[in-house]
Amino acid sequence: MSVVSIALLVACAATAAGASATAPAAVREPAAAAPGWRIVKVLPNAAFDGLTALGPRDAWLGGAGCANAACDRGNVIVRHWDGSAWRVVTPPKAFLDNALVQNAGPVVATSPSNAWVFADLANVDTDSFYTQALHWTAKGWAAPVRLNSWVNAAVALSPANIWAFGGDGSVGHFNGTTWSRGSLPIGGTVASATSASDMWAAGLSPAGTPAIEHWNGHGWRATPVPNLGIRVTGPLNLPSFQGIAAITPRNAWADISVLGDVGKTYLLHWNGGKWVRVAFPFAGSANTNVVSDGHGGIWLSIDAGPAPRTSLWMCHYSGGHWTKTFVPRYAGQQPTVDYLAWIPGTRSVWGTGGLIVRQTGGEGVLKYGA
């Protein structure tokens, strides 16, 4: 196997399973549409694994793409939304045209001049996996810092309070000067926070069951998760946290998917005292993290049905009621939506999803609202 961005390969394969047989020959910007979910940007040769938004004029994307036609060398890709366009932010030279398998995973920020991109690297010859923390500052990129874990999730509370979580249970913390290392009894795959004294990290316990830890500003504490009745009969039946959304200290959500034969989504809600299961009315498995809609509800995306007839949906919960709408199409394809990010201060949401563009992998940037 050639050494190429894992994310780009996965995006190509997943998209091909549900896309139309004819891929677009050229990239054209989607036409303007009425308010609702729409595709606002199409980027060829890209697969994003990081998305965050701080406001209407500040959002970040991180991912990877092929550096050559053979796709045996890769580039880390970073984009910044400044309110009018997704601008290219060129990564450090070492992350361009690199023979190592690489991808930009979680992306977090506190301002347009303070962002962290966690670039995953892998050497398939030595079977080594690790993450480099790339710090964007007002002066450009700081020197990369190697974190000896594969970072799955990150939280930015302030320039001097950054957290990174690894699937091996490792926890990295940046205090404004240096990174320190800690650990959790679970493999952290998703994380979210409302403040420095209210943060959540979720993943699987050593027994393979869903587990959630809470940080109160001083230490981590396990919070019981309801028994979801999941029977693990093989790798596809293993539960997987897709996301966790801390909205207020008494209001948080988490979504878990199990692929199985047709897929299933489990939804959990923190009511200020405990996690409770909330009935999810649609068949299919969650593809994205759950996010706030900015006015008391939540969004997530699911896929339903076996390939090649898989249908992709945006699901919305508001005022005690669920609705779902088709993910919008581009050139006959529905993007396999992977990440969502609420835009603070608005009722709008960003999203990203894989597409076939120019006969290869690409990415559609989606948006709900103005």
Instruction: Give the pLDDT confidence of 229-252 residue by residue, as tens digits.
Output: 887 766 667 889 999 999 999 999
What average pLDDT is seen over the chain?
A: 87
Give the residue from 281, 240, 288, 280 showing the smallest Cα distance to 260.
Answer: 240
Considering only residues 254 and 207, tell me which one the structure prediction assigns the higher pLDDT: 254
Instruction: Return the pLDDT at 308.
Output: 61
Q: What is the pTM for the complete model shown?
A: 0.89
341 DSSP β-pair partners: 350
Q: pLDDT tens, 247-264?
A: 999 999 999 998 765 689
Q: Is 166 exposed, middle or buried (0-12, 13-18, 19+ CB in 10 A)?
A: buried
For the chain, how many residues are written?
A: 370
Separation between Cα atoms, residue 164 and residue 212, nearest integer Å: 16
Q: Which residues contact 156 (CB under 8 A, 6 or more apart)?
A: 52, 108, 109, 110, 114, 116, 162, 163
- Asked whether residue 370 carries a pLDDT value surpassing 90, the answer given is no
Q: Which residues contact 284 (CB under 8 A, 6 or more apart)?
A: 262, 263, 264, 265, 302, 303, 304, 305, 313
Maximum alpha-carbon separation in the chain: 55
Average pLDDT for 147-172: 95
Separation between Cα atoms, residue 126 and residue 166, nearest integer Å: 20
Instruction: Return the pLDDT at 357.
Output: 77
Average pLDDT for 47-66: 96
Instruction: Return the pLDDT at 26.
Output: 41
Considering only residues 53 and 126, tell me which one the structure prediction assigns the higher pLDDT: 53
* Confidence class for position 18, pLDDT limits 50, 70, 90: very low
Average pLDDT for 21-38: 49
- Asked whether residue 175 carries a pLDDT value surpassing 90, the answer given is yes
Instruction: Return the pLDDT at 126.
Output: 66
